[in-house]
Amino acid sequence: MANIFSSQEILRIAVKVEENGRGLYGALESNTKKGKMQEVWKYLKEQEEMHRKVFQEMLDNTGDYIVDEFNPGEYNAYLKAVASGYIITQELIEKKTKQLFSSELEAVEFGIYVEKESILTYSALRDYVLKKKQSVLGKVIDEEKKHLVQLTLIKDQMIK
């Protein structure tokens, strides 16, 4: 089970994260009446696809992106907790994509949760990316932060 956290497996998880996010936001877009929220879901769906492509490229070219030397001590509790927690989150995203939400507010709150988990997971992955390639992952993290802010502002407006 320890090898589940190899560099390739972490990238496979990241690709799956973005695929599931795209599916979730696509379902929300399809089930939302025309307007601002439908545009938000469409934008986030498109962003998830762009991120998926970034991680797929990293996976396809692992040697160009990922540090190959993983010492047993590098598999610390933090990385294990983040990766295993994110696998659980992905199962929840798949479930929510099928059943959807009882309100737009609930959907936005779930989007906030997903974005926070993405930031945490990708921040943990950053230590395993070659220094010269960390800017690629840094851009994805920055975009996820923007999504988090955008969804938080929308939530604040909904609550008012």
Whether the Cβ atoms of residue 20 and residue 71 lie closer than 8 Å to each other: no
Q: Quick: pLDDT tens for 37-74.
A: 999 999 999 999 999 999 898 888 877 776 655 555 55
Give yes or no for a contact between 141 and 120, defined as CB atoms under 8 angstroms apart: no
| Token pair listed for 79 | 């990385």
Give 88-146 pLDDT, tens digit per residue: 677 788 788 778 788 889 989 988 988 888 888 888 777 777 788 788 888 889 999 99
Q: How far apart are CA 155 and CA 108, in angstroms?
A: 6
CATH number for 2-159: choose from 3.40.50.720, 1.10.8.640, 1.10.150.170, 1.20.1260.10: 1.20.1260.10
